[in-house]
Each structure stands twice: as structure tokens, then as C-alpha cells.
């Protein structure tokens, strides 16, 4: 097996030009370099796998390829021609289409309407649908991938796997805009599919290779190795190498993805006040089951940080949400400090002393137009009220003290939180539970996602302070290094079940590869 540990090189000059090529692509966001000179190419009729941890730059790269994001530097070439992709329409006109992880179909329309939406052509005359023509146009695309879906079926009556086929058929309409084979990008297409549905999808991907080039993105490396010809790896916004999938070793790919582990100082490991022996469990989970997880069991002691790791779709995010009452459960029992924790809703969880930092900070973790002060005191209204009346002076003194203590960079407490940097927004969200003062269990779902290295270090410090104060913490980390650096123990989940527990003591940490062997 040949492995390149350098950024991928273009094909030799004598070869036919790649279907799609990226040269030195760069994209900056405030405080972070999402793409840092990425090189990548996919040949005609090839399935290229794209791998990398969360935050590696995959999403930004894909958005640049379909005209959603404009790179700051670098070049994109399509079949030997340098192009500027200023919109999704631009990309489609060059034969590039993408099936997004979050499906983009309109549920109350038929499959045919979704497939031709925006490119109806002869399917519409004088503002009216010509249903026979619409059905024929849609059927042509469905036949390309061998799908038996009725074009006139309402989309919301189809299974997720069938809707995925409609998405692919919809993207294939870009063939009408170019005389060349298209380039189809599949972003995490198997994330919520069952094994039988995944095999059906793989069959369609192999069909696609006959008349298109495919970029296949997945966190599941066994899938990448199964369906792709090559796999390119990104890490930290850079191209770190590529591997031909024939005979490839998943362990080598993981090593390329994760690189070296971070230093303990970065994770404030020396700030831990370790008890002489393991404390009594504060959180006890027994037989917890829900839609995407089954029979999950674990314990977390007071002042302990338990990391939960697993590939995308392992169920760990839904377990975390279930413990906060935001995801339904079907059976199981959860106790907090010996008392049964009712998982009936988020209000009951807050009342019981459970705090939650969601992964989608801007969607679920804060109210953008509201002030820093109002966001910080959302979960503890009594901290700013006298009875039912808000007392501004009472709120101001409390909020100002936490702004100073956490070094939150904001013009003042009345500034809208959406105006702050990502790291300072996350400090405010964390401060919400510090203000509450009675949090006993803190659930952290990717608390450092989208933060630069300095902001991450600050969040780690706050996590240590909370643990030293006796708060039990469940951490869904953004990377394996983060889970290892911050956790006292690590629980591995796979396919909705807790499969292994790994000790993670200071001075005796496992390696990322140790965890990978348990995850796949």
C-alpha cells in the first residue's frame, strides 16, 4: 500500500485533466483559518472519499465547491478550466451538485416536483405544470440510479432512504446544463440510515461512478474504504495526504486525521483537584433507551468528567439531550444524587440541577438579539428579580461580576450577545450555569465547536473550575484529543449502545488509536 503524507498532487501532465481540482484553497473566518492551502482533485468516473475530524475544514471546502462560500485565495478548476463559483447556480452550470447532510426537499411536494424544482423547463407551460412531462423528466433521473420510487409520490410519505434517492436524482438534473459528466458531492449521506438502506445507497453510488465523478464524505471510515477509490484526508484546514482504498488500513487513516495529541497544559490538567479515591456516583444511568440508543448504562461521580466518544450516528448526542429532557426516552432510569431524575422536559431538568450546553450554540444556546445580561440570567430568573419584578441593579451587579471573573470581552452587559466573538458567546452560555449556582450535572455537547485555540483553552479552564466545585460533567468532545485531554474516564458508543469504558487517568492517558479500535 502506498501512502502519501503530503498534500495530494495533481495527475501527471500527460493525463486527462481531473473532473474537479482545488489548488491552494484558503478561507478565513474571524479567529480561525478554516482552509489553509487545501489541494484536492477527483478524476472522471472516480469516487473520492473525504475524511477528517470535526473542524478539519470539510464543510467549508464543500461549500466552496458548490458556490456557497467564496474562498479568500486559491483556485478551482473544472476539467482543465479555471472557474469562479459565485453561487450554487454557477456550480450547477459547471456540472457540480451536492446532496446536503440536511435534506433540502419540500415535504408536501411530489418527488417529481422536487426533482425538477428550479429547472422545470418543458415541465411548465404558461405557469402551469404539465404533469406527464414532469413525471417523464423525473423518471429519467430516477432510472439513472435504478430507483423504483413513483415520481408522483408525496415526498413526506417516503422513507429517509428514498428521500435520499430523490435528492440524488434532483442533483443529477445538472447534467442538463453541461455536456460533461457531472461531479456529485455526497455529504454524510448515511448518517441516519440503517444497514440495509446503506447498502442500497452504496449500490447507487457505484452506479453513479458509471456516468459521474463522486466526492463521498463520511465519518465512518469502513464505508469510505468500501465505496471509494481513494480517500483524501484533511486536518486543521490542510491537506495531509491521500490513501488508495484497496488494502488500506483504517488505523493509518485515523492517524492521519488526528495527528499528535495536545499538551496537558492546554487542557489545564494540572488544575485538577483529584480525590484520593473515586467519589460516590452523582449521576447513575441504567437501561436508558430511546429512538437512536438502546440499553445505555454509566455513572459519573461528583467532580468527575466523563467523555463519551463515537462516530457520527453512534447515538451519543441523543443520550446527552435525553438527560436534559430534550429527547424522548422509551425506558430506563436515571438518578441524580440518589433521587430519580424525571426526563419529562427541560424545565424539570433545570429544576433538578441539570445544565446543558448545546452543540448549536447560536440556534439553541443563546438568544442572539438579547443582551449579554439577559442571556446570562435566562436559567435563573430569581437572580435578577424581586418577586415577579426584574431589578436592573440586582442583575447588573451579578452579571458584571461574572463578566470580570471570566474575562468576557464585551463593550458592556447590554450588548447583544450576537455581536460577541464565538469564544465570548460560549463563555456567556457557560456563565449561565455558574450564575445559577445550583448545577450538579453539566452536559456539554461539543462546547468548543467553532472556537479558536485561545477560546478553547478558556472553556477548558471553566470546565476544570466546575469539576473542582463538585459538578459532574458529561462531555461530548469535538475531537478525540479533546476527549482524552479533558476526561477522567471515556465511554465509547457504537450503533446506539455503550460498548466500552476506558480509564483516562492523568499520566496514563490512552492514545486516540486506542479509542478508534473500540469505535469502529
Q: Fill in the DSSP letter of residue 466.
A: H
Across 398-418, b (16+ Cβ under 10 Å) vs e yields bbeebbeebebebeebeebbe
Residue 514: its pLDDT value, please?
A: 85
Quick one: CA dihedral 476, 481, 484, 487, positive or negative? negative
Q: How many domains does the chain have?
A: 4
386 with 297, same domain?
no
Residues 162 and 269 in one domain: no
Domain C-terminal end among 177, 205, 231:
177
Q: What is Dmax (Cα atoms) for the chain?
A: 80
Residue 447 sits in a domain of what CATH number?
Answer: 3.40.50.300
Does some domain include residue 360? no
Domain check: are 4 and 89 in the same one? yes
**H helix or E strand, kind and range, residue 24:** strand 20-29
Q: What is the predicted pLDDT for the residue at 308?
A: 95
Are 346 and 452 in the same domain? yes
Nearest-5° angle of CA 281, CA 317, CA 340? 35
1 and 80 assigned to the same domain: yes
22 shares its domain with 123: no
Its pTM stands at 0.56
- Domain boundaries, position 46: 1-95+181-259
The answer to whether residue 307 is domain-embedded is yes
Answer yes or no: do 1 and 84 share one domain: yes
SS3 string, 315-383, reads CHHHHHHHHCCCCCEEEEEEEECCEECCCCCHHHHHHCCEEEECCCHHHHHCCCCCEHHHHHCCCCHHH
Residue 3's pLDDT is what? 40
Query: Per the structure block, which three cell numbers stand in for 116?
Result: 425538477
The helix (H) or strand (E) run that includes residue 34 is strand 32-42
Asked whether residue 444 falls in the same domain as residue 477, the answer is yes
Q: What is the pLDDT along the chain (520 residues), one digit of tens a residue?
A: 334 444 455 555 456 899 999 999 999 876 568 899 999 999 999 999 998 875 678 888 999 999 999 999 999 999 999 999 999 889 988 999 888 866 678 888 899 988 888 777 787 777 777 888 888 888 988 888 788 899 999 998 988 778 888 888 888 888 777 778 899 998 878 765 666 667 877 888 888 888 889 999 887 777 888 899 999 999 888 999 899 998 787 778 877 876 654 444 567 776 555 554 556 799 999 999 999 999 999 999 999 999 999 876 788 999 999 999 999 999 999 999 999 998 898 889 988 999 998 877 777 778 888 898 888 888 666 555 555 566 677 778 888 888 888 778 888 888 888 888 767 888 888 888 777 678 899 999 988 876 655 667 778 888 898 899 899 999 998 788 889 999 999 999 988 999 999 999 888 889 888 888 777 6
Question: Does 202 share its domain with 90?
Answer: yes
11 and 88 share a domain? yes
Checking 157-160 for CB contacts under 8 A at 24+ apart, the result is: 158/111, 159/197, 160/103, 160/192, 160/193, 160/197
Q: Pick the last residue of a domain from 235, 259, 283.
A: 259
First to last CA, the chain: 21
Pick from 177, 193, 216: which residue ends a domain? 177
Phi–psi pair at 480, nearest 5 degrees: -65, -35
Residue 362 lies in a domain: no
- Dihedral sign from CA coordinates of 357, 64, 109, 112: negative
The answer to whether residue 223 is domain-embedded is yes
3-state SS, residue 464: helix
In a domain, 381, yes or no: yes
Would 236 be classed as within a structural domain? yes
Neighbours of 361 (CB within 10 A): 21
- Same domain for 28 and 88, yes or no, is yes
Cα gap 463→197, rounded to integer Å:
40
Q: Is the residue at 37 inside a domain?
A: yes
CA dist 323 and 300 (Å) reads 13
| Euclidean distance between CA atoms 271 and 330, whole angstroms | 39
Asked whether residue 358 is domain-assigned, the answer is no
Same-domain check for residues 86 and 212: yes
Amino acid at each position: 500500500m502506498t501512502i502519501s503524507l503530503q498534500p495530494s498532487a495533481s495527475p501527471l501532465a500527460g493525463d486527462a485533466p481531473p473532473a474537479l481540482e482545488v489548488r491552494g484553497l484558503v478561507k478565513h473566518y474571524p479567529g480561525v483559518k478554516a482552509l489553509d492551502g487545501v489541494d484536492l482533485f477527483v478524476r472522471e468516473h472516480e469516487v473520492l472519499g473525504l475524511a477528517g475530524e470535526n473542524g478539519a475544514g470539510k464543510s467549508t471546502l464543500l461549500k466552496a465547491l458548490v458556490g456557497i462560500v467564496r474562498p479568500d485565495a486559491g483556485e478551482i478548476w473544472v476539467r482543465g478550466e479555471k472557474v469562479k463559483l459565485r453561487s450554487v447556480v454557477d456550480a450547477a452550470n459547471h456540472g457540480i451538485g451536492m446532496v446536503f447532510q440536511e435534506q433540502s426537499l419540500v415535504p408536501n411536494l411530489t418527488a417529481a416536483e422536487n426533482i425538477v424544482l428550479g429547472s422545470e423547463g418543458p415541465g411548465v407551460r404558461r405557469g402551469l405544470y404539465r404533469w406527464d412531462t414532469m413525471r417523464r423528466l423525473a423518471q429519467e433521473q430516477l432510472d439513472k440510479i435504478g430507483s423504483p420510487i413513483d415520481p408522483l409520490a408525496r415526498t413526506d410519505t417516503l422513507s429517509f432512504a428514498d428521500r435520499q434517492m430523490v435528492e440524488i436524482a434532483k442533483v443529477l438534473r445538472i447534467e442538463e446544463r453541461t455536456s460533461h459528466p457531472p461531479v456529485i458531492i455526497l455529504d454524510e449521506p448515511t448518517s441516519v440510515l440503517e444497514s440495509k438502506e446503506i447498502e442500497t445507497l452504496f449500490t447507487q453510488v457505484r452506479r453513479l461512478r458509471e456516468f459521474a465523478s463522486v466526492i463521498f464524505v463520511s465519518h465512518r471510515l469502513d464505508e469510505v474504504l468500501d465505496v471509494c477509490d481513494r480517500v483524501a484526508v484533511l486536518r486543521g484546514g490542510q491537506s495531509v495526504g491521500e490513501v488508495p482504498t484497496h488494502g488500506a488500513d483504517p488505523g493509518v487513516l485515523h492517524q492521519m486525521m488526528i495527528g499528535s495529541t495536545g499538551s496537558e497544559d492546554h487542557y489545564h490538567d494540572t488544575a485538577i483537584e483529584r480525590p484520593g479515591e473515586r467519589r460516590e456516583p452523582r449521576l447513575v444511568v441504567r437501561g436508558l433507551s430511546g429512538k437512536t440508543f438502546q440499553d445505555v448504562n454509566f455513572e459519573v461521580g461528583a467532580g468527575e468528567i466523563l467523555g463519551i466518544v463515537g462516530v457520527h450516528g453512534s447515538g451519543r448526542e441523543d443520550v446527552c439531550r435525553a438527560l436534559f429532557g430534550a429527547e424522548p426516552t422509551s425506558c430506563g432510569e436515571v438518578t441524580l444524587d440518589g433521587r430519580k431524575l424525571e426526563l419529562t422536559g427541560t424545565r424539570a431538568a433545570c429544576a433538578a440541577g441539570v445544565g446543558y450546553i448545546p452543540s448549536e450554540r447560536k440556534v439553541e444556546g443563546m438568544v442572539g438579539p438579547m443582551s449579554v445580561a439577559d442571556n446570562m440570567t435566562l436559567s435563573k430568573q430569581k437572580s435578577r428579580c424581586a418577586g415577579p419584578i426584574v431589578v436592573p441593579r440586582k442583575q447588573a451587579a451579578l452579571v458584571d461580576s461574572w463578566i470580570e471573573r471570566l474575562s468576557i470581552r464585551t463593550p458592556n452587559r447590554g450588548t447583544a450577545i450576537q455581536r460577541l466573538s464565538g469564544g465570548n458567546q460560549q463563555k456567556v452560555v457557560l456563565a449561565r450555569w455558574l450564575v445559577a449556582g445550583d448545577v450538579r450535572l453539566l452536559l456539554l455537547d461539543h462546547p468548543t465547536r467553532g472556537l479558536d485555540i485561545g477560546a478553547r483553552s478558556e472553556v477548558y479552564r471553566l470546565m476544570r473550575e466546575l469539576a473542582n466545585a463538585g459538578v459532574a460533567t458529561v462531555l461530548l468532545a469535538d475531537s478525540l484529543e479533546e476527549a482524552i485531554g479533558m476526561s477522567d474516564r471515556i465511554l465509547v458508543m457504537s450503533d446506539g449502545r455503550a460498548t466500552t469504558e476506558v480509564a483516562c487517568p492523568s499520566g496514563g492517558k490512552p492514545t486516540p488509536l486506542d479509542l478508534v479500535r473500540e469505535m469502529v
